[in-house]
Structure 1
């Protein structure tokens, strides 16, 4: 075998080895994300099973205890167990993220469908409205809504949902326009199917299929934005067991009690990374299906 053939064979073997390693790494990442997601869902649905105790129970004699066997995540300034509070705060944070994503997706589907299906003046008007909304950063738009209607969990949820709607609407519209010009829709039109039947059987199912991926990715983003608003004092208020509120309470003691901010922040990051990983996994499955 010549040197060139040997190098080519080695290069092909390296590419094959890299190709096999990459799916293994992806599978490991997806497995870890699935385990974290299972823990988060269990914490949200049955928090007493994961962390028995009252997240609001105070014990001043145990204030500012570092992480230890009795208190895995330490305690806060009132002696409350941080592990219990973080676990019980999972339900609040996930609920806010899911509701905000539902609001954003619902409004995005409505605007995107109107623009993509009706076209003409409606498409022009919706696109101009979306461009105006895109001129504001998402978090700034949420702050504007809270400024008008006041702070609170419900207002923060609606604000995050409204701020994510323009991005969803643009994606839905682009997907709808692409599906409308596809070959199978043209074939259905040639066969004499009514526009309503084409919309129901061909356009909408193929347009709304990516919504599962968008929803999974959007939950992580919504949780990050909602916790940011709570951190600023515009969402959940202390002593509520909510990750953003716990972050806000812990910033005062960041130099002396680092665990008060570290563990809520860790759960926020884990939730966002898990949602992104699962969303990408679903996207790959749908692409290869």
Structure 2
């Protein structure tokens, strides 16, 4: 008896991938339409309800000002995701410039860019972000740029290697022989084949950027309380760990789930790309 082979997508999407996809969908809904999940005001204070533990009506409890933590976590998805996506975009944009320049503009430029990347790689990513903030001062914009700059060297090295490989491919050499312009070769052959596979890594980078941005906010170098941003909520709740654990547990859980979900989906896209 013949049986139909399972579809390729069905084989790739296991229970873990479905859960990750569901988490990402919830994050997107929370970021784009937070009032659907939490219609309350994330900044509304109620001093008489301060430090309430999780219960009916306040499933994540309340903070020191009586603000509902569930509402703040849901509304905090937008700034946290925006910071993660913006930082990743900055890293990818800078990496495109450095990686393509190193791969296509000759040995002198390649040597200079390679040495620059080696210097940047000598610093751990988060330490490099801290150095940028030390120079330019704390803040949401500064921390976003700092995280983007810290992630750029890794992307640049990948793009450089990919572009060098594509530039030596037979179809590129054939285009050169046929007299195609350098701009056409770059736009039609090198960029699509060298850069598009790198964008699979964006899903991995967003999760990392969210974690790093939250870490900077936790240190008081990013968004500041009472902002409804996950890292800022961790910063506000760190003084109440012994008496109000829920103030840090639920924002921290949101950070972990978002980073894990985007990482799982990124790995899934990588496997599809390999196949």
TM-score by length of structure 2 reads 0.93
Match of 1:112 among 92, 96, 99: 99
Match of 1:193 among 180, 191, 195: 180
- Structure possessing the higher radius of gyration over alpha carbons: 1
**1:244 alignment partner in structure 2:** 231
Decide whether aligned partners of structure 1 residues 275 and 122 sit closer, same or farther in structure 2, where only a CA change above 3 A counts: same
**2:134 alignment partner in structure 1:** 147
Structure 1 residue runs of 4 or more that deviate by more than 6 Å after TM superposition:
none
1:34-45 to structure 2, matched below 5 A, reads: 34-45=21-32
What CA distance in whole angstroms lies between the structure 2 residues aligned with 1:206 and 1:25?
Answer: 24
Return 199-208 or 237-246, whichever deviates more. Answer: 199-208
What CA distance in whole angstroms lies between the structure 2 residues aligned with 1:244 and 1:125?
Answer: 37
Structure 2 gaps of 5+ residues are 1-9
**1:253 alignment partner in structure 2:** 240
Match of 2:196 among 188, 209, 215: 209
**1:123 alignment partner in structure 2:** 110
Give, in angstroms, the shift of residue 221 of structure 1: 0.6
Return 274-283 or 226-235, whichever deviates more. Answer: 274-283
TM-score by length of structure 1 reads 0.89
What CA distance in whole angstroms lies between the structure 2 residues aligned with 1:108 and 1:48?
Answer: 37
Q: What is the aligned residue count?
A: 268
Decide whether aligned partners of structure 1 residues 145 and 83 sit closer, same or farther in structure 2, where only a CA change above 3 A counts: same
- Contact 2:12/2:268 (<8 A) preserved: no
Q: Are 1:85 and 2:68 matched, yes or no? A: no
**1:276 alignment partner in structure 2:** 263
What CA distance in whole angstroms lies between the structure 2 residues aligned with 1:199 and 1:86?
Answer: 44
Structure 1 gaps of 5+ residues are 1-22
Q: Deviations over 1:21-62 (max 9, x none)?
A: xx7685222211111111101100111111011111111111
Q: 1:171 is paired with a residue of what secondary structure?
A: helix
Give, in angstroms, the shift of residue 123 of structure 1: 0.6
Decide whether aligned partners of structure 1 residues 253 and 25 sit closer, same or farther in structure 2, where only a CA change above 3 A counts: farther
Q: 2:76 is paired with a residue of what secondary structure?
A: helix
Q: Deviations over 1:212-251 (max 9, x none)?
A: 2121111101100000000000000011101001111111
